[in-house]
């Protein structure tokens, strides 16, 4: 993992002192609330419905055991003993006091963490493939680039007052697990098809929210050493031309859409052509950062573990968990393990401080002291020996963390919604809980197979409902919560926006409607066909009648 050097260390410390001073200036009236707002947002502090919320950056989703323990300590001392993992690989505390925020930031700095730019109209915390450094389809580990971008974007003098927020994702694999096409900018590390040279493909203009758009390729191949200069060019065009008259049209996706891809690309390329080049700094920085991500000493192990195979045969419940939790590791004898934070009927992404501490111990014992946070609000232990899996599973079970539902219908993504969020138009957590309970039976879930449900509590789409196989959007209609259900979205290389199935439903109709859609799938699927494959083959319309039938029954 990357460890702060003296510069990083000093930088975050000074940043904490700066924020302490900003809070003092706000309290003395020297800064107005309007002036203070972007400053606190750029330190991750939101005003929510009931309290402040502090959003902590987990850069590219990588955490150490030591850092997780510190988060547990903060949860106990300044919050209600739990934290909430978000769809952007961040962690939110929902109950801190404004006056405590500087102390919390100091505690974070103690373990090389911060809350810089987890909010506000600036370049946000950079996300990456949660299987970085592990996946077999990886061309190059994306974390050095992500760390470089973390530093480059921190307190950027030119790009801290953008028209709107700006999200960057990086992947180094052929399968896009970081959903680049849903980001303002996506960086894909790839090999040039002819020369074999490693470089970058740059996408821009993706985003969900009110007007979902799919990111487009701006540059097919950018040689190494030119990434910062190219991103500077994109940012400068966006900062200058992005709309500021309407906050709903201020994201870069609207600029790309309104200019057209070619005109946008030309603007970026001409900016790039005249801008300075930081090739030497960039190359030197990447060379400095990269070794910190390849320090894990793997044992020489056979590809097949006898202990593991025997445990699966002897224990069917373990075998069920294994089915969805494992991701193949590039090193023989190891696996990356996804741990579901979606217990049946629970709050997606929540973790108690006790669980955090215990999990930190597990990561130390079984995974080199490292863990990852996924955008599906789950955790990953990236380097577990197959030999250890059975022991790990038993310990997880005792912690209430062995739910065998990764990728299944109850592995639901949900934003905080009306239970916490000031922007929400409806609740999302109780909807997730109701669906989770409805499909809680383990055999039934496995029978249904992979199915992603994503829920947002308003049009801002933090729950990524557009790209859920089934998406649920909570709105308000005449003082009532009303839920729109979409079908056919996909958060993958084939990024797709779901289509609306019919009129809005009340909160207590949602689980029934999902049930009918799933029944329709089970009735029509071909052998081995997953939910989303069946939707692609049959079309969304084929599911409308099942969806509407129930809605009419309810109305009658």
398 binds other proteins (CB under 8 A): no
Name which position in 67, 94, 118, 121 contacts other proteins (CB under 8 A): 121
137 to 166: interface string for other proteins, x by CB under 8 A = --------------xx-xxxxxxxxx----
Q: What track of x and - describes contact with other proteins for positions 31 through 50 (by CB under 8 A)?
A: xx--x--xx-----------
Distance in angstroms (rounded) separating the CA atoms of residues 105 and 338: 29
In angstroms, the CA 171 to CA 302 distance is 29
Let me know: does 128 contact 31? Beta carbons within 8 Å. no
The DSSP code for 381 is: E
What is the rounded CA–CA span in Å between residue 381 and residue 392?
10
First vs last Cα of the chain: how many Å apart?
Answer: 59
| Rounded alpha-carbon distances, angstroms, from residue 245 to 164, 241, 248, 257 | 11, 11, 9, 16
Contact assessment for residue 169 and residue 186, using Cβ atoms and an 8 Å cutoff? yes
HEC states along 245-270? CCHHHCCHHHHHHHHCHHHHHHHHHH
The correct pick among 205, 242, 348, 416 for binding ligand SF4 (CB under 6 A) is 416
For other proteins, the binding residues in 333-362 under the rule CB under 8 A are none
Q: Closest distance between ligand SF4 and the C-beta of residue 120, in Å?
A: 14
Stretch that binds ligand SF4, among 99-107, 257-265, 357-365, 458-466 (CB under 6 A): 458-466
CA–CA distance from 389 to each of 284, 334, 367, 395, 426 (Å)? 39, 9, 11, 10, 40
- Smallest distance, ligand SF4 to C-beta of residue 209, A: 9
Per-residue interface string for the shown chain with other proteins, residues 255-294, x marking contact by CB under 8 A:
-------------------xxx-x-xxx-xx--x------
Return the residue of 462, 467, 487, 551 that touches ligand SF4, per CB under 6 A. Answer: 462
For ligand SF4, give the closer residue by CB, 268 or 424. Answer: 424
Residues 435, 507: Cα–Cα separation, whole Å: 11
Residue span binding other proteins (CB under 8 A) among the ranges 10-18, 383-391, 408-416, 527-535: 10-18
Beta bridge partners of 482: 475
Could you tell me how far CA 84 lies from the centroid of its own chain?
Answer: 12
State the binding partner of 273 from ligand SF4, other proteins, none, CB within 5 to 8 A by kind: none
Q: In whole angstroms, what is the distance from residue 143 CA to residue 89 CA?
A: 14
Judged by CB under 6 A, the residue of 358, 376, 435, 461 near ligand SF4 is 461
Q: Which of 56, 404, 421, 518 is close enough to bind ligand SF4 by CB under 6 A?
A: 421
Residue count (the chain): 556
Contact residues toward other proteins (CB under 8 A) are 5, 7, 10-11, 14-15, 17-18, 21-22, 25, 29-32, 35, 38-39, 121, 151-152, 154-162, 228, 236, 239-240, 244, 274-276, 278, 280-282, 284-285, 288
Contact residues toward ligand SF4 (CB under 6 A) are 415-417, 421, 423-424, 456-458, 460-463
């Amino acid at each position: 993992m990357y460890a702060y050097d003296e510069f990083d260390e000093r930088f975050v410390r000074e940043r904490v002192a700066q924020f302490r001073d900003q809070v003092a200036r706000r309290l003395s009236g020297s800064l107005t609330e309007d002036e203070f707002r972007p400053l606190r947002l750029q330190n991750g502090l939101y005003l929510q419905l009931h309290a402040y919320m502090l959003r902590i950056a987990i850069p590219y989703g990588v955490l150490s055991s030591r850092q997780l323990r510190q988060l547990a300590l903060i949860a106990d001392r300044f919050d209600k003993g739990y934290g909430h993992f978000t769809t952007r690989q961040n962690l939110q505390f929902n109950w801190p006091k404004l006056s405590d925020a500087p102390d919390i930031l100091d505690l974070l700095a103690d373990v090389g963490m911060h809350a810089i730019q987890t909010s506000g109209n600036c370049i946000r915390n950079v996300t990456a493939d949660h299987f970085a450094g592990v996946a077999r389809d990886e061309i190059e580990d994306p974390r050095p680039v992500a760390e470089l971008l973390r530093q480059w974007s921190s307190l950027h003098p030119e790009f801290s007052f953008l028209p709107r927020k700006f999200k960057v994702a990086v992947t180094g694999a052929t399968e896009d697990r970081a959903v680049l096409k849903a980001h303002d900018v996506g960086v894909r590390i790839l090999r040039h098809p002819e020369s074999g040279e490693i470089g970058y493909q740059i996408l821009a203009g993706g985003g969900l929210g009110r007007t979902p758009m799919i990111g487009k390729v701006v540059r097919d191949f950018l040689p190494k050493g030119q990434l910062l200069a190219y991103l500077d060019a994109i940012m400068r065009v966006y900062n200058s031309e992005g709309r500021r008259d309407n906050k709903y049209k201020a994201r870069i996706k609207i600029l790309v859409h309104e200019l057209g891809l070619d005109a946008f690309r030309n603007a970026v390329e001409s900016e790039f052509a005249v801008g300075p080049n930081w090739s030497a700094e960039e190359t030197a920085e990447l060379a400095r950062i990269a070794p910190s991500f390849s320090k894990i000493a793997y044992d020489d192990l056979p590809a097949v573990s006898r202990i593991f195979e025997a445990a699966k045969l002897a224990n069917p419940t373990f075998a069920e968990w294994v089915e969805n939790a494992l991701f193949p590791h590039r090193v023989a004898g190891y696996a990356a393990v996804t741990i579901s934070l979606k217990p049946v009927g629970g709050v997606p992404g929540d973790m108690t401080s006790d669980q955090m501490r215990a999990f930190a111990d597990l990561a130390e014992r079984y995974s080199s002291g490292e863990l990852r946070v996924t955008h599906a609000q789950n955790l990953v232990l990236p380097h577990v020996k197959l030999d250890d899996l059975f022991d790990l599973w038993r310990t997880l079970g005792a912690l209430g963390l062995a739910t065998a539902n990764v990728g299944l219908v109850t592995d639901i993504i949900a934003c905080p919604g009306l239970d916490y969020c000031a922007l929400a138009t409806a609740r999302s957590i109780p909807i997730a809980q109701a669906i989770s309970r409805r499909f809680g039976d383990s055999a039934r879930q496995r029978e249904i197979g992979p199915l992603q449900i994503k829920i947002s509590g308003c049009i801002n789409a933090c729950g990524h409902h557009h790209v859920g196989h089934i998406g649920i959007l909570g709105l308000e209609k005449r003082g009532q919560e009303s839920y729109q259900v979409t079908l056919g979205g996909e958060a993958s290389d084939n990024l797709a926006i779901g289509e609306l199935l019919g009129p809005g439903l009340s909160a207590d109709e949602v689980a029934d409607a999902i049930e009918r859609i799933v029944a329709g799938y089970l009735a029509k699927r071909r052998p081995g066909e997953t939910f989303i494959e069946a939707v692609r083959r049959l079309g969304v319309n084929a599911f409308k009648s099942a969806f509407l039938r129930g809605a009419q029954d309810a109305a009658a």
